[in-house]
Amino acid sequence: MMASGRVFCTLPARTFSRKKQKDAKSATFSAFPVGVDFYGLLKQKADNVLPSVSNQDLFNTVIALYDVCLPDIGVENLRTIVFERGAKTILLLRDQQEVLKEYQDRCWPELEVPDKSPVVHEVTDEEECAGTLSAVFSDPESSEEEEDSDSDDEEEIERFHSILEEFLTMVRKRRHQRRQPDPTPDSIGIECCLVAALTFKKCTAKSKEKILEVTLLSTRRRYRNCGVATYLIKLLKDVSLVGFYDAIVTHADSHAVDLFERCDFSDDVILNNKFRDLEYEWVNTTTMSYYPPFSTGLHTRLDVGDLELQMTQWRAKSFAAHESQTVFMKRILCEIKALRKQVTSQKKEIRKLTTDLEKERQERKLLKKKIPEYQLKEIQSFLDAVHLGPGDHKEDTILKTPHMQDLVHRSIEIDGCQLELQEIVQAALSWQISDEIKSHMSTLPVCQRLYYCGGRSQPERLVEILRSGFSPGDFQQGEYGTGLYFSASPAVAINLLPPHHVLVADVCLQRTQEDGVKTACRTSPPRGVDSALVPGRPTTVTSPLAEFVIYSHLQAIPICLLKYTQKGSPVEDHT
């Protein structure tokens, strides 16, 4: 049919049987297929396909049939699909005289049954007359029809709508004539003779296969269940009519899937995956394909030897594919085993590191607990030294305790008072404050453990210092400037702290400069140094001991607070 290259051609008529018809005379009808290339037909202004029917009216009738069955697509889109270059349409037409005789024999007011397609993009009965061109095929026939078309800027579209208006006017006129008791041949238009239509086009897939793509397929409702759609698909499969092809592809809606399955189409997802690029913007459709047998077509005549050769090649390719898949799976399995072994090794290493870390934490915790013990021993040594009377001779033991020699002389001058240690309160800084101080002290790594010389006027600040560290509010305004004063001797601190309390701290002195010049207005260390070593303030000590002055509260971190009593006196807790 289409392989001849002619604009149109026809085939002999075929008889179809209607199912469930009481009238035996109307139980059968005959129709003949016509192949049309509307693009070439209308562009070349060729002779009419049918006598007394213009090619334009034939084209409009096909568009009307599709529009009645597929109103959601739209008239303009239907025109574009049918009129596309390379698109071809197979029409199934009835003889005009046979249709006229049916109209003359029927009893009025029996009316023409509405039309509808059962395939490809089938719609429900209620939706059939919703299309723009529903006036062409409707039930019952009525002269009260409406046409609603959108205006378009393109001249060709406007001309198409204008022609549709004229076509609808003629359809209404012929319908009115058919309503008369004795209709004439002029009342039987092409819309009465059209049974079904199938539009397809040839294209090439990415796999270089030649494809026949079924874009539209519709059958009038009154001719359903007669084998009409199956017959059209059978014609499409015939390579002597449509030419050689590798596959036929369609996009069927849910109502048409069964029809195409009966015609040997497959909806296999893997098989149809390569046809995804052929899809229109259809929704709710299933891609289905048909592959012809080897014996089909002029170019595929294979003898038994050729078939055996193809089977051998297929077997070799299948074996190679299976071998590749097996090797791939083996390598994947080895990779999984290696990864699992690596994960197991990493888990063991993580557990070992976790154990070592926990052990280190415990050791650090124990060391932190031992720090106060060592401090206690130092203080106890200091107190033991204080317990010595003027006549005792244990100076060697005293000198072995850091900074204790001056304290021994100091204690002797306090009327022989003996001191007893009652409690050690360890500092408990929050991690934020501790990190802030340590971050600042890391720039001044040289630290020394000293005794705080101040706080007598604010005894309640001692406990607060243990919790939040030193602050600018703890600065003292002395003869050598405003800052924090510390001493290496606890004897000096005892006289400058609240009674019965000694505050121990680590102080970052770094670069220290001896400064004997009294400068009360100083708020920062001399240039190039971090702290100042100044003469001690007057106390009850016979010879004042030197003191260290720092001018930043972040250079000192509290360690603990020692509480002591003079032997025989109660402890006065100022904290």
- Residue 26 has a pLDDT of 57
- Residue 302 has a pLDDT of 58
- Residue 376 has a pLDDT of 63
Tens of each residue's pLDDT in the chain, 575 residues: 444 444 456 788 899 987 665 554 557 899 999 999 988 888 887 777 888 888 888 898 999 998 888 888 888 888 889 999 889 999 999 988 888 888 888 755 444 444 443 334 433 333 333 455 666 765 433 333 333 334 444 677 777 778 888 888 888 888 888 888 888 888 888 888 999 999 999 988 777 888 999 999 999 988 888 999 999 999 999 888 888 888 999 998 888 899 999 999 999 988 888 887 776 667 788 899 999 887 665 445 556 777 788 888 888 888 899 999 999 999 999 999 999 999 999 999 999 999 999 999 999 888 877 776 676 666 656 555 444 333 343 334 333 444 434 333 333 333 345 677 778 888 888 888 888 888 887 777 678 889 998 888 788 888 889 888 998 888 988 888 889 999 888 878 888 888 888 899 989 887 888 877 778 788 888 888 888 888 877 654 445 678 899 988 888 989 888 888 866 555 455 55
Strand partners, 504: 451, 560
AA letter at 481:
G
The single residue listed with the structure tokens 């500092």 is 427
CB 18 within 8 A of CB 8: no
- Residue 248 has a pLDDT of 93
CA atoms of 449 and 356, how far apart (whole Å): 31
Phi, psi angle pair for 348, to nearest 5°: -60, -45
CB 39 within 8 A of CB 62: no
544: Cβ contacts below 8 Å, ≥ 6 apart: 535, 536, 537, 538
- Residue 384 has a pLDDT of 54
CATH of domain 2-290: 3.40.630.30
AA letter at 440:
H
Phi, psi angle pair for 445, to nearest 5°: -70, -20
Domain residues of the chain, as ranges? 2-290, 417-566
32 Rama sector, left if φ>0, alpha if ψ -120 to 50, beta otherwise: beta
- Residue 135 has a pLDDT of 63
CA atoms of 169 and 158, how far apart (whole Å): 17
Long-range contacts of 6-12 (CB under 8 A, 24+ apart): 7/36, 7/37, 7/40, 7/41, 7/44, 7/46, 8/34, 8/35, 8/36, 8/37, 8/41, 8/46, 8/49, 9/34, 9/35, 10/34, 10/35, 11/235
List the one residue out of 258, 245, 242, 229 whose CA is nearest residue 292.
245
Helices of type H across 124-227: 155-178, 190-193
The single residue listed with the structure tokens 């005894």 is 459
Q: Are strands 531-534 and 512-514 parallel, antiparallel or unpaired?
A: parallel
Q: Are strands 547-550 and 556-566 parallel, antiparallel or unpaired?
A: unpaired
Helices of type H across 403-519: 405-412, 431-441, 461-468, 490-496
Say whether 89 sits in a helix, a strand or coil. Answer: strand
List the one residue out of 63, 74, 69 whose CA is nearest residue 36.
63
Please say whether the dihedral angle defined by the alpha carbons of residues 165, 167, 173 and 175, taken in this order, is positive or negative: negative
CB 271 within 8 A of CB 235: no
- Residue 569 has a pLDDT of 52
Q: Which class in CATH covers the domain with range 417-566? A: alpha beta
List the one residue out of 550, 459, 535 whose CA is nearest residue 503.
459
**DSSP 8-state secondary structure symbol assigned to residue 111:** -
Residue 570, CB-side half-sphere exposure with 13 Å CA sphere: 3
Output the six-digit token pair for 179.
Answer: 């309503």
Matching fold, domains 2-290 and 417-566: no
**In 10 A of CB 235, how many CB atoms?**
18
- Residue 356 has a pLDDT of 94
**In 10 A of CB 37, how many CB atoms?**
20
CA atoms of 479 and 515, how far apart (whole Å): 11
CB 85 within 8 A of CB 149: no
- Residue 575 has a pLDDT of 52
Say whether 50 sits in a helix, a strand or coil. Answer: strand
CB 570 within 8 A of CB 453: no
List the one residue out of 441, 396, 456 whose CA is nearest residue 556.
441
Say whether 367 sits in a helix, a strand or coil. Answer: helix
Say whether 390 sits in a helix, a strand or coil. Answer: coil
Say whether 377 sits in a helix, a strand or coil. Answer: helix
